[in-house]
Structures are given as C-alpha cells and as structure tokens.
Structure 1
Amino acid sequence: MEWKQIPLGPLQTNCYVFWNDNKDCLIFDPGGSGDALIRWLEKEDLNPVAILLTHAHFDHIGAVDDVRDRFGIPVYVHEKEAQWLIDPSLNGSVLFMMEEKISARAADYILTDEQKLVIGSFHLTLFHTPGHSPGSISYYLGDEHVVVAGDTLFMGSIGRSDLPGGNSQQLLASIHDHLLTLPEETIVLPGHGPETSIGHEMDGNPFLNGY
C-alpha cells in the first residue's frame, strides 16, 4: 500500500490518501482546496472509496462535500462530532472568525468507540482518542504499521486542549492508553507538520515526560 501527505486549506491541514494495488483509495481529512485535491486524485487515476475524519474541526472538513460529491463516496465521523460537521458554531469556523463559515452535510456513517472497520480491502482499527476534541479518532492500519492520529499527537508536541470540548488530561490519557501502546516502529501521521514515530515520541516528546 502507498500513501501521500497533502497539506490543504487555510491552515495547511494534512490530508492523507492511502491506496492499494487496484488504485482504490481512502481519503483522511480533506481540509480544503477541494478542486486541487480532486485534480490530483484524477491525475493519479485513483478510485476513492471513502472519506474518514479524525475529527470535525473546520480545518479538517473544508473539502468534504466537494470530494464526496465528485466521487459519490461516504463520509465517516465519530458520533460525538456528527453535529460538528454541519454546524459552524461547533466546528470552530465561527470561533476563529472565518470569512466563510465552513460546514458539510451530515456524515453517511457514524462511528463509535474502539472498533474494527473494513472498507473494501482496507482494514483499520479505530481508537477513540479524545482530548483535542471529544470525537477525535486515531485510525490504525496495522498491516502498514501506520496510525493516522489527527491533532492528537505531533512530532515533539501534542494537540491543543484549550478549544471547546478539549481536555488536557484526557488528551494525555488518550495518547498513553492508545498510541504509546502501539509498536515503536509505528509511523504517526499527524494533522499538521511532518510524520514521526511512536518510538521517537516516547523517547523525546517533552509533553509526554512525567505523565
């Protein structure tokens, strides 16, 4: 399987596209610049099968409807942020005084806590990792030794917990209980910035020391 990190939208949020040998692909967090993302997908001759959201803050959902409508694919979000997807006052675009309020239509599939998810040939394990937001999800692709962590864990840092619905102790517990229990070689794909690994963050992330 291959994947690509594509920063999109006003905050350069990392969108991730994973594809298999058949060119079927999953799209994680299409945060904006829908036309550019669609052009890239079509240039690469990929066949999107689903949009998966790590959470529903405005900078992660800006191109959801563009991509969903172009390819006729479903959108997945955690149940605690199902309403955030459609309500700018919840997803942060009102709070941050965006000139254009960002929202999307309701998700097609509502996810709950830890579960297995199979979409075509893709097999994922879902970890509910709240703290940055109440419905944050990390998607673990065990066969690829990769976790798509959204805004939960970054290289040398952790997600913000000072936004509505955030909780710093909950965030640290999510990281320790779900992410740091993964194999150290697991690649961490964060919502912003460069990729890292579980081992690297265990050894050197200053926000995790002494928890």
Structure 2
Amino acid sequence: MKFQIIPVTPFQQNCTLMWDENTNKAAVVDPGGDVAKIAAAIEQRGLTLEKVLVTHGHLDHCGGAKTLADQFGVPIEGPNEADAYLLDELATSQTRMWGLPAGAPFTPDRWLNQGDTVTVGNETLQVFHCPGHSPGHVIFFHAPTKVAISGDVLFAGSVGRTDLPNGSFNALVKSIRENMYTLGDDVQFIPGHGPVSTIGSERRGNQYVPDKK
C-alpha cells in the first residue's frame, strides 16, 4: 500500500490518498475540501478511486466527501454513526463554527464500528472506534505497512481537541491508550494535521497522554 498526503482547506488538513500498487485501486481518507486538487492527484497517478473513507464528521475532514464521491461514483465509508449529527450540520452550524465553505451533508453508505475492516483493492485496513475528539471518530490501520491514519485523535506531540461539543478528554485518552499505543512502537501514523510521527515516539514523549508503563 502506498500513501500520499494532500493538504486541503485553509486548516491544511492531511487528506490521504492511498492505493494498492497491484491493482491501482485507491481510497481517499478525509477529503475536507479542495476536491479538484484531490481529483488531480488521483488522475495524475492513473488510479481508480474505489471509495471515500471518513475518520469523523468535522467539516475540515469531510466537507468535500460527498462531492468527491459523487464525481467518481463511489461509496463513502465511515465514520461511526455517533457522528451522524455532525454530518447533518456540514452546511449550517459547522460552517459558522469553522469559517470554512459549506460542505454537502451526507449519510455514508456504511457506518464503521470497532473491529470492522475496509478494503482498498486487495489490501485490508482495520478500523478502531476512537471517541474523544468527536463521539464517532474512527482510525484506520494497515498492518502490513505499519501505517495508521489517526484523524484528530493523536498528533506529533499533541492530541485532538476535546473542548468541542460532545468532546471528552477522558474518552480520548482511553482511545489513544487502548487503540493506538497498542499498535506497536514502529507504527507510523498520519495525523489530521501536522507532521507524521510514530507510536513509539508519542508513547514515550507525548505530554498529554504519557504511557502508564
């Protein structure tokens, strides 16, 4: 599996294009906006978009999801159903909150839960439900390449905000300790914003969620 980070929106959100090298089938994770930029990257690499994946329902992560999915005629998978209310607000209260262009509200073709898997070509990613930043947040983990896409759960040296409606710092800490720190120290993760880091680096040095060991 190959990965390309495509920063989108004025928030420079890390939209991720991933593809199976053997089939050239691809998925886009968190198309928050700048759909033309994402589409150009897909076409430049000669990939066939198979689906859109969404970690959570905040506008900068999924504001362009429906537009991209409709353009390519593909389904949307994720987030967890607990974020349904956020998807309904993509063109209203979220636009006012974030000051970004309105997104198109949508209901995904598939809600995702802890223990689910998603496929991209012949590759499989594990799904972990990681509430805290939002109640329906999920992350994706590709074990063969040891790469996780963490959305706004864990960052290099930081963690996702929990002061937003329905956020919970205790839930976020639990999600990180149980579903991210357990993936393995050599696992790289692509956060929703900022640079890539490793689980080991954060487990040892993240001041917000220090390792209990």
TM over 0.5: yes
C-alpha spacing 1:179/1:210, structure 2 compared with 1 (3 Å):
closer
CA distance in structure 1 between the partners assigned to 2:175 and 2:37 by the alignment: 33
Please tell me the residue identity of whatever aligns with 1:92.
Answer: Q
CA distance in structure 2 between the partners assigned to 1:205 and 1:186 by the alignment: 15
What does residue 28 of structure 1 align with?
29
Contiguous gaps of at least 5 residues in structure 2: none
What does residue 13 of structure 1 align with?
13
Is contact 1:88–1:94 with CA below 8 Å preserved after alignment? no
C-alpha spacing 1:89/1:173, structure 2 compared with 1 (3 Å):
farther
TM-score (norm 2): 0.92
For residue 118 of structure 2, give the secondary structure of its aligned residue in structure 1. strand
C-alpha spacing 1:134/1:178, structure 2 compared with 1 (3 Å):
same
Please tell me the residue identity of whatever aligns with 1:126.
Answer: V
For residue 37 of structure 1, give the secondary structure of its aligned residue in structure 2. helix
TM-score (norm 1): 0.93
Please tell me the residue identity of whatever aligns with 1:4.
Answer: Q
Instruction: After TM superposition, give the deviation of residue 102 of structure 1 in Å.
Output: 2.5
Contiguous gaps of at least 5 residues in structure 1: none
What does residue 53 of structure 1 align with?
54
C-alpha spacing 1:188/1:62, structure 2 compared with 1 (3 Å):
same
Is contact 1:30–1:63 with CA below 8 Å preserved after alignment? yes
1:84 to 2:70 alignment: no
Is contact 1:58–1:88 with CA below 8 Å preserved after alignment? yes
C-alpha spacing 1:38/1:70, structure 2 compared with 1 (3 Å):
same
- Aligned pairs for 1:79-158 (under 5 A) are 79-88=81-90, 92-96=94-98, 98=99, 100-158=101-159
What does residue 172 of structure 2 align with?
171
Identity %: 32
Please, which moves more after superposition, 111-120 or 62-71? 111-120
Superposed CA RMSD in Å reads 1.8
